[in-house]
């Protein structure tokens, strides 16, 4: 059998797996992108078309009336802008605080071995098994005793508490995956432990930092239950709670166009941030996986 005949017989074997790979990935992409398209298409329809039943998949005409109404005084636009600012404040604050604490704790667990460190690290990871709903009442009582009920600062601390274990896990793996010789060389050059961590190890472990930041920000940005329970003042609501109020409507009515435009406003920052930092996020999640 000639070389060309062998190549022709081997070609289908290579083509079929590649075609199957593309079909599977395109199917998954369509599955995940379809809900996003529904949100976008509903938000750029006219209010009448957005409320039509059954809904259309493609808008008959392009309109920004839903976004205009969302941010107008008619629909509480000033309140929506304030609630957008509340979400930014709480999410960014919880992210920065989680990064700071998880970096210090992750470095300690990875580099500073002490008696009981493994047990303490295991206890930290065990908090993953505690559902948030099970401790919402004790959390509310604790915040009440320290005067942080109905407070964005209290909500920020709650988010930090629940995202910290995963952040510690990521940062501990990030520091543990680095060669010890890097830190030893910095110590020989006269750096203290803290300075060696900040100036030498932390720049190399930046994928773990980015992964911790993205996970905390996305989870805080989209969190609904704690904000609904711990915040009672409408001026301090975050976006998920504001959207739930928007979905309730007036006299039982539901403005689908304004609601979907609000959902689009909530989604867009997450998509932009993830696209910009995707490379670091994937690298941080895989840090230490093959160690």
> What is the pLDDT, as a whole number, of residue 216?
92
What would the pLDDT profile of 93-104 be if each residue is shown by its tens digit? 999 999 999 999
The rounded percent of the chain whose pLDDT value lies above 70 is 85
pLDDT of residue 158: 92
pLDDT at 156: 94
Selected residue with higher pLDDT from 18 and 214: 214
Q: Round to whole Å and give the CA distance between 122 and 119.
A: 5
Q: Within 10 Å of residue 280's Cβ, how many Cβ atoms?
A: 17
pLDDT at residue number 55: 77
Residues 170-217: pLDDT tens digits? 888 888 888 888 777 878 877 777 888 888 888 888 888 888 998 899
pLDDT band, very low/low/confident/very high, at 68 (cuts 50, 70, 90): confident
Give every CB contact of residue 98 below 8 A, 6+ residues apart in sequence. Answer: 159, 160, 163, 164, 167, 212, 213, 216
3 band by pLDDT with thresholds 50, 70 and 90: low
Question: What spatial distance separates the first Cα and last Cα of the chain, rounded to whole Å?
Answer: 47
How far is residue 63 CA from its own chain's centroid?
30
pLDDT of res. 179: 81
Most confident by average pLDDT, 42-46, 138-142, 259-263:
138-142
pLDDT over 90 at 247, yes or no = no
pLDDT value, residue 92: 94
Task: Give the pLDDT confidence score for residue 76 in this predicted structure.
Answer: 53
Whole-prediction pTM value?
A: 0.80
Mean pLDDT, to the nearest integer, of 215-228? 91
Q: Supply the pLDDT for residue 290.
A: 45
What pLDDT sits at residue 116? 80
Q: What does the mean pLDDT of the chain come to?
A: 81
Least confident of 41-50, 71-80, 109-118: 71-80
Return the pLDDT at 74. 57
- Dihedral in degrees, nearest 10, Cα atoms 199, 200, 206, 207: -170
Q: Residue 291's pLDDT is what?
A: 46
- Round to whole Å and give the CA distance between 82 and 239: 9
pLDDT at site 220:
93
CA distance 136 to 181: 45
């Amino acid at each position: 059998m000639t070389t060309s005949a062998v190549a022709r017989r081997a070609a289908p074997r290579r083509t079929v797996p590649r075609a199957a790979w593309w079909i599977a990935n395109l199917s998954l992409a369509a599955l995940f992108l379809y809900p996003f398209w529904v949100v976008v298409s509903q938000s750029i329809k006219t209010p009448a078309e957005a409320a039509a039943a059954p809904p259309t998949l493609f808008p008959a005409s392009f309109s920004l009336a839903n976004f205009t109404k969302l941010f107008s005084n008619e629909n509480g636009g000033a309140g929506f802008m304030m609630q957008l600012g509340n979400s930014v404040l709480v999410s960014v604050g919880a992210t920065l605080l989680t990064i700071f604490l998880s970096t210090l704790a992750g470095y300690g667990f990875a580099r500073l071995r002490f008696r009981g460190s493994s047990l303490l690290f295991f206890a930290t990871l065990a908090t993953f098994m505690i559902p948030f709903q099970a401790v919402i009442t004790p959390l509310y009582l604790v915040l009440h005793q320290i005067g942080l009920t109905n407070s964005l600062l209290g909500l920020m601390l709650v988010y930090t508490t629940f995202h910290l274990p995963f952040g510690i896990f990521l940062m501990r793996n990030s520091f543990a995956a680095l060669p010890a010789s890097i830190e030893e060389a910095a110590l020989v050059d006269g750096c203290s432990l803290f300075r060696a961590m900040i100036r030498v190890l932390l720049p190399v472990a930046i994928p773990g930092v980015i992964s911790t930041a993205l996970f905390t920000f996305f989870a805080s940005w989209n969190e609904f239950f704690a904000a609904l329970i711990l915040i009672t003042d409408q001026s301090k609501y975050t976006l998920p709670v504001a959207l739930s109020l928007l979905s309730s409507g007036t006299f039982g009515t539901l403005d689908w166009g304004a609601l979907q435009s609000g959902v689009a406003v909530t989604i867009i920052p997450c998509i932009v941030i993830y696209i910009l930092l995707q490379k670091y996020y994937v690298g941080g999640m895989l840090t230490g996986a093959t160690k």
